Amino acid sequence: MDGEGGLGVFSEVGSLKKVLLHRPGKEMETLTPEVLENLLFEDIPWLKKLQIEHDGFADALRGAGCRVFYYADLLKEVLADSGVASVAADHLVSTGRIPQSRLKEEIRELLVSINAGDLADVMICGLRKDAVPHSDDEKRLSWWIQEDFPFYINPLPNLYFTRDPGAMIGEGMALSAMQTGARSRETFLLDLIRRYHPMFSSIGEKLWYSPDMGDSLEGGDVMVLSDTAVAVGASVRSGSDAIETLARRLFEEDSGIREVLVIRIPAARAYMHLDTVFTMVDRDSFTLFPGVENDIRVFRLTPSGGSGKSGSIRIREAETLEKGMAGVLGMPVRILKSGGKDRGAAAREQWNDSANTLAVKPGTVITYNRNTASNEALEKAGIRVLEIEGSELVRGRGGPRCMSMPLLRGI
């Protein structure tokens, strides 16, 4: 499990060997004040600086011994197969804002005629209405009426938060059912890579969750605590039905997971995923935004009867987060408060993702350098902090953990 080959994630803090990123690109330049709300942004990052910062993040990962893979590269490789390109074109047309069947056919013909790199660009950057050639005589009424929204196929500016479309759990994958339509195509991109890229062939049928299973579930709420336990956040983005379905699947299938710890956090955009307020920084240590500690409830889910094959689940509420984690991990744990003892600094820095740390090995995490009080608190607790610049990255409301999907991580 600790080798260089294959894929698999067996802990939250073991040595990180392979990770999937997306380097922000032209899709960010589709952000204008008029479409920010539709595309889930509150601000417009400066692309040039955003890319410099993201490259710094990738360099920090490589410096820690991790191999970095990019969405655009993997998509281009799978889309070189005309059959896969056809599957992608069908999905783009069927889910796009394309009002008439004839226009859908024309756009599909356009998509299958372009090369793999250009098709990958469309999948990420979207397709503007003015990119489809029409004379004024050919423009349908729908073109004029819907002109205020400029895309036939929406861009994916949130894709650089690669944590959310899916999560490796053991040797399998949970594909997210995204809570918002603006991000639903991100899961399709990941699934296309999972199904057709040879690097992902080891996953096979080990699909622990998928969008067709119903309730929303997003990767930012999934935390692989060990090779036998997973924590899942019950948040504004991940529902209780989805969590119970995931737990049942993990127990029934050959996943190795014997316990799921459910952590209910306040349902608010500021705390959209568990990892916006709580992350693991060492084998026995976690960082927590203190502003939510009194509103958290913790539940331990285990197979009823022990085998997991019955489909029944036993649910017990833990007295505290600390006791719940200690029970799952079988050792005493430390809960380190972000912001140190300064609650004002904690609140300010949580807005800049101070608790959204990414462990690259036990006791070593990547964080934004701007969160000085939180970083100092971690260092005083014996955690090594690798700081990166994030003044533009943070405008998308995510930190280092949000921006990474671990593909291979040991125990």
> How large is the average pLDDT for residues 367-395?
97
Q: pLDDT value at position 254? A: 86
Sketch out the chain's domains with CATH numbers.
Answer: 8-72+157-409 (3.75.10.10), 73-153 (1.10.3930.10)
Tell me if residue 125 is catalytic.
Answer: no
Q: In terms of pLDDT, which residue wins out, 101 or 66?
A: 66
* Helix or strand holding residue 304 (H, E): none
pLDDT for 34 = 85
* pLDDT tens digits, 98-122: 877 888 998 999 999 999 999 999 9
* pLDDT for 341 beyond 90: no
Please check the confidence at residue 135 and state whether its pLDDT lies above 70.
no
Packing angle of the helix pair 82-95, 184-196 (nearest 10 deg):
170
User: How far is it, in rounded angstroms, from Cα 304 to Cα 43?
Assistant: 47
Instruction: Lay out the sheet containing 172-175: strands in order across.
Output: 166-169, 172-175, 207-209
Task: Give the residue among 282, 382, 369, 290 at the shortest CA–CA distance from 329.
Answer: 282
Compute the mean pLDDT over every residue in the chain, rounded to the nearest whole number.
93
What pLDDT score does 120 carry? 98
Residue 99: predicted pLDDT: 78
pLDDT the model gives residue 389: 98
pLDDT(137) > 80: no
Q: Indicate which residue of 92, 402, 403, 407 is catalytic.
A: 402
* Whether residue 366 has pLDDT greater than 90: yes
DSSP assignments along 69-81, one per residue: EEHHHHHHHHHTS
- Residue 264: band (very low, low, confident or very high) from pLDDT cuts 50, 70, 90: very high
pLDDT at 292: 95
Per-residue model confidence as pLDDT tens digits over 265-293: 998 877 889 999 999 999 999 999 999 99
- SS3 assignment, position 387: strand
Of 324, 373, 326, 323, give the one whose Cα is nearest residue 345.
373
Does residue 318 contact residue 299 with C-beta atoms inside 8 Å?
yes
- CA 1 from centroid of its chain's CA atoms: 22
DSSP 52-121: HHHHHHHHHHHHTT-EEEEHHHHHHHHHTSHHHHHHHHHHHHHHSS---HHHHHHHHHHHHHS-HHHHHH
SS3 241: helix
pLDDT tens-digit readout, 233-261: 999 999 999 999 999 999 999 899 999 99
pLDDT digits (tens, 9 = 90+) for 277-336: 999 999 999 999 999 999 999 999 999 876 556 678 999 999 999 999 999 999 999 999
**The total number of residues written for the chain in this structure:** 411
pLDDT over 60 at 2, yes or no = no
Nearest to 276, CA basis, from 348, 350, 218, 222: 350
Which pLDDT score, from 0 to 100, does residue 263 have?
98
Structure confidence at residue 1 as a pLDDT band (50, 70, 90): very low
Neighbours of 30 (CB within 10 A): 17
267 touches 276 (CB < 8 A)? no
Look at residue 133 in the predicted model and tell me its pLDDT: 75
pLDDT band with cut points at 50, 70 and 90 for residue 145: low
